[in-house]
């Protein structure tokens, strides 16, 4: 399978290059040249298959011979080492819990599979890559955890000092080994600026192999298709029409859902549920895309004014705005509505969601399911990652998973730096 840069379909690269480079020279995102349809026999058997079996069939059909079957099985075995249960709240309402990975957010799924691909592609090479990521919280910890101890890879994380939660900071700064955490005196944008400067610095690029592993990497997108199949599988034989609500920021998660549908998964509608950063719901209504300035909300992992995967969504639909709006309904909610939704889930179903999942649930309510439809909302983070908001809206204490309790006892190891680029440059060039 070849991968196209969607800014320039003439530029074709291998899976290896698409994954290791992350983004093409003309800042285009990579997409597979063709999205394969899975055979009828696969769907007939789907309800009997495990998550790992599904992951193998789906990724095999997409990757072909780019990764040998035995290697692919190994990558899946390591990456998907936790369950993704579909829980029933009532006859028509289900929640897909994506937060049972080591950093308690759905980003573990993508990051861990991608880390496996990196390791495979670098295994027979005598070189080392340095992954540089700026993070506002969840992405950095998922990447750090996924790449910890992976051969041939070092990870450098930049995070804004005082602007990530205490728990997130522990997740970023306690790994050690091949993970270096840099605490930047500045905000998230300053961290991103530093990353951009590093990527365009001539000396750095001459001396080290720098790559980004951010959310636009195709290696993170593919594994996110697995759990859409797994969700439908868990509904059993002959489910009713399926409506899936996806809490969205950069729209990688929803894009993966659209790819799953293209591969043949019977999903009747998707809901693009956002917070006040609602450029995509607006587009789905008006057909016009106007990225906005980022607005800060209590569902902060979705605070994205200009979602990077929007161009992929358009590409899947060949730019046909009408067809996109037929398949996806866009709905958005402000912070008070999010709090209400958290409270409602707890009151009606004794279910304690996090703010992101609560927005997806609100989306199903806004959509208005009929009797012959089944609604699934994606729960993307563990409520313990946002204890204050969740406790305020439910009146119930959030229980910390034991892994988090242990984490809070570990000692933070971070290098404090200013937003002066020369300091980052020195650290990168001297990294051991
Ligand atoms: C990243 C994130 C999202 C948004 O996912 P996208 O793929 O960027 O749309 C939603 N919820 C949580 C908890 C996240 O960490």
Residues recognised as catalytic = 107
Output the pLDDT for position 47. 97
Please say if the pLDDT value at position 32 is more than 80.
Answer: yes
Residue 25 has pLDDT above 70, yes or no: no
Q: Inform me whether the pLDDT recorded for 24 exceeds 80.
A: no
- pLDDT at residue 405, as a whole number: 86
Rounded to the nearest 10 degrees, the angle between the axes of helix 69-79 and helix 107-122 is 140
Q: Assign 26 a pLDDT band (cuts: 50, 70, 90).
A: low
Task: Verify whether ligand 1 is closer than 6 Å to residue 138 (CB atom).
Answer: yes
Domains annotated for the chain, with CATH where assigned, are 83-102+220-398 (3.40.50.1100), 108-217+409-431 (3.40.50.1100)
What's the mean pLDDT in 216-243? 96
Mean pLDDT, rounded, of the chain? 94
Q: What is the mean pLDDT of residues 210-220?
A: 85
Atom of ligand 1 nearest to the CA of 107: 15
Q: What percent of the chain has pLDDT over 90?
A: 80
Ligand 1 pocket test: which of 97, 100, 103, 247 has the largest number of ligand atoms within 8 Å of its C-beta? 247
> What average pLDDT does range 33-40 have in this prediction?
96
Q: Which atom of ligand 1 is nearest to the CA of 138?
A: 15
Q: What is the pLDDT of residue 196?
A: 87
Segment 220-247 shows an average pLDDT of: 97
Q: Which of 16-25, 359-368, 370-379 has the lowest mean pLDDT?
A: 16-25
**247 C-beta closer than 6 A to ligand 1:** yes
| pLDDT at residue 185 greater than cutoff 70 | yes
Residue 200 — pLDDT band, cuts 50, 70, 90?
confident
pTM: 0.95
Q: What is the pLDDT of residue 165?
A: 84
What confidence tier does 212 reach under pLDDT thresholds 50, 70, 90? Answer: confident
Q: Is the CB of 217 under 6 A from ligand 1?
A: no
Q: Which residue has the tokens 């699934």?
A: 376
pLDDT score of 312 more than 70: yes
Per-residue pLDDT, averaged over 267-277, amounts to 98
- What is the model's pLDDT at position 400? 87
What does the pLDDT average to over 11-34?
85
Q: Return the top range by mean pLDDT from 11-20, 42-51, 395-404.
A: 42-51
Burial of 199 (0-12, 13-18, 19+ CB in 10 A): middle
pLDDT band for position 289 (cuts 50, 70, 90):
very high
Minimum CA distance residue for ligand 1 atom 11: 380
Query: Is the CB of residue 28 below 6 angstroms from any atom belonging to ligand 1?
Result: no
The answer to whether residue 404 scores a pLDDT higher than 90 is no
Asked if residue 140 has pLDDT above 80, the reply is: yes
């Amino acid at each position: 399978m070849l991968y196209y840069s969607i800014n320039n379909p003439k530029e074709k690269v291998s899976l290896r290059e698409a994954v290791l480079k992350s983004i093409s020279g003309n800042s285009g995102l990579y997409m597979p040249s063709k999205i394969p349809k899975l055979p009828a026999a696969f769907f007939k058997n789907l309800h009997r298959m495990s998550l790992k079996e599904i992951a193998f069939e789906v990724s095999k059909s997409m990757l072909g011979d780019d990764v040998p079957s035995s290697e692919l099985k190994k990558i899946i075995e390591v990456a998907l080492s936790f369950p993704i249960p579909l829980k029933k709240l009532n006859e028509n309402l289900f929640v897909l819990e994506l937060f049972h990975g080591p950093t308690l957010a759905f980003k573990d799924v993508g990051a861990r599979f991608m880390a496996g691909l990196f390791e495979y592609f670098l295994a027979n090479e005598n070189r080392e890559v340095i992954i540089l990521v700026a993070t506002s919280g969840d992405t950095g910890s998922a990447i750090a955890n996924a790449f910890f101890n992976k051969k041939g890879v070092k990870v450098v994380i930049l995070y804004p000092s005082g602007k990530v939660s205490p728990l997130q900071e522990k997740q970023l700064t306690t790994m050690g080994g091949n993970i270096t955490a840099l605490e930047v005196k500045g905000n998230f944008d300053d961290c991103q600026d530093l990353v951009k400067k590093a990527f365009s610095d001539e000396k750095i690029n001459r001396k080290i192999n720098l790559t980004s592993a951010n959310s636009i990497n195709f290696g993170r997108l593919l594994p996110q298709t697995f759990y859409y199949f797994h969700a439908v599988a868990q509904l059993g034989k002959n489910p009713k029409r399926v409506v899936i609500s996806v809490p969205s920021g950069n729209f990688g998660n929803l894009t993966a859902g659209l790819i799953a549908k293209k591969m043949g998964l019977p999903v009747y509608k998707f809901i693009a549920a956002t917070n006040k950063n609602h450029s995509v719901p607006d587009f789905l209504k008006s057909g016009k895309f106007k990225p906005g300035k980022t607005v800060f909300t209590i569902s902060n992992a979705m605070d994205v004014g200009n979602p990077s995967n929007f161009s992929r969504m358009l590409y899947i639909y060949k730019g046909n705005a009408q067809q996109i709006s037929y398949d996806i309904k866009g709905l958005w909610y402000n912070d008070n509505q999010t709090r209400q939704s958290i409270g409602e889930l707890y009151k009606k179903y004794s279910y304690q969601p996090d703010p992101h999942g609560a927005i997806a649930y609100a989306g199903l309510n806004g959509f208005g399911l009929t009797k012959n439809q089944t609604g699934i909302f994606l729960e993307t983070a563990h409520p313990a990652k946002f204890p204050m908001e969740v406790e305020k809206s439910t009146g119930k204490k959030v229980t910390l998973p034991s892994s988090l309790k242990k984490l809070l006892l570990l000692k933070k190891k971070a290098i404090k730096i200013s937003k002066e680029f020369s300091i980052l440059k020195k650290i990168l060039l001297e990294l051991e």
